[in-house]
Amino acid sequence: MTDNRIRAYIQLIQKLLDCPEGEEINILRQNEDLVDVEFIYILEQAAAKAETEGETEAASFLGDLAQQLQLAFGQSTEMMNPDRSDRTGAYIKLIEGILACDRGEDVALLLDNNSDLVDRGFVQVLAQIAQMLTENGKPDSAAFLINMATEISAVIEES
**pLDDT bracket for residue 82 (50, 70, 90):** very low
pLDDT digits (tens, 9 = 90+) for 35-73: 887 888 888 889 988 999 999 999 999 998 988 887 776
User: Which 3-state string (H, E, C) describes 98-116?
Assistant: HHHCCCHHHHHHHHHHCHH
DSSP string, 1-21: --HHHHHHHHHHHHHHHHSPT
Residue 142 φ then ψ, to 5°: -60, -45
| pTM for the full predicted model | 0.51
Radius of gyration of the chain (CA): 16
Check residue 79 and give its pLDDT.
44
pLDDT digits (tens, 9 = 90+) for 86-144: 787 788 889 888 988 878 888 999 999 999 999 988 988 888 888 878 777 888 888 89
Domains of the chain by residue range: 3-158
